[in-house]
Amino acid sequence: MRIKHCDVGIAGLGLIGSSMAAKLSGGGHCRSVIGWDVDPGVSQKALQKGFVIESKESLNDLASSSDVLVLAVPPSAIVDTGREALRGSRGKVRVIMDTGSAKRKVAKGLAMEWNERYVGLHPMAGKELGGIENADPALFEGSVTAVVATSETSTEARETAREMAEALGSRVVETDPETHDRMVACVSHLPIFMAMALALTAGECGRECPKLKDLAAGGFKDTSRVASGPSWLVSEIWEQNSDFIAPLIHKAATFLEMMADSSGKQLAEISKRASSARNSILEGRFASLGGDHS
């Protein structure tokens, strides 16, 4: 199945869902893009902006009109949304995928309902501000998108997810739910908690020294950026992946304690190790890219 011959339905038209819709519609990557959001006003905006060719009044209407269904709803709502969509699909949907940032619980719930038709999709891109108002068809350009297959995922579903990711302008990494959640806990979720700790520390320092904000520049802005994301998302990420995140927070705290007790010479060596570790992970991946690929 090629997505260019498919009607793609997107449930949830926030930043990720509406950016996907804008990219797929604008590039002619599929036969049509249709959408639905729990907020009718958001669905109407997507239609007015030309992100979708049609906005459906209900999830069931969307499912019964989609060959490929993308669940771009908040993590806690993914499984229930998928179950409801199954009841309304009338056998139309051939592949269903979600865009959540943690996959084990979601994959278990959706695979039970959709079996081989389910595959996870995780576009590793975003912005500080969410919502359809901040949608950007170029959001995923040059980013990484994880295609997360279960043991039941069909070849058709896996290939459709790959094609979807490539249509968005992403580089594809294939993995399984367990490995995915372990990896993103370190390189996607932990940075949020580290940024929160930095912001809270600076906030306390700022109360002691009100002029601190006058000296807060690029270093603070860059390293604390993801702390400004939506609080509900942090809560949901924790609920779904805390068993991997918590040990990493403790590990990071151990490194901070070690640095606090180190000499200048020792810190120079630690800095070299940190720089080498960072470079070995990134290896120039973002050298020619703009935007936020977190």
For the chain, 294 residues long, give each residue's pLDDT as a single digit of tens: 799 999 999 999 999 999 999 999 988 899 999 999 999 999 999 999 999 999 999 999 999 999 999 999 999 999 999 999 999 999 999 999 999 999 999 999 999 999 999 999 999 998 878 899 999 999 999 999 999 999 999 999 999 999 999 999 999 999 999 999 999 999 999 999 999 999 999 999 999 999 999 999 999 999 999 999 889 999 999 999 999 999 999 999 999 999 999 999 999 999 999 999 999 998 856 443 334 444
CATH numbers and ranges of domains, the chain = 3-175 (3.40.50.720), 181-282 (1.10.3660.10)
- Asked if 72 and 10 touch (Cβ cutoff 8 Å), the reply is yes
Query: CA end-to-end span of the chain, whole Å?
Result: 30
Here the tokens at position 152 are: 């039941």
Prediction pTM value:
0.91
- Asked if 32 and 58 touch (Cβ cutoff 8 Å), the reply is no
Task: Render pLDDT for 36-94 as a digit per residue (tens, 0 to 9).
Answer: 999 999 999 999 999 999 999 999 999 999 999 999 999 999 999 999 999 999 999 99
Within 10 A of 19 (CB to CB), how many other CB atoms are there? 26
Task: Render pLDDT for 179-202 as a digit per residue (tens, 0 to 9).
Answer: 999 999 999 999 999 999 999 999
Within 10 A of 244 (CB to CB), how many other CB atoms are there? 19
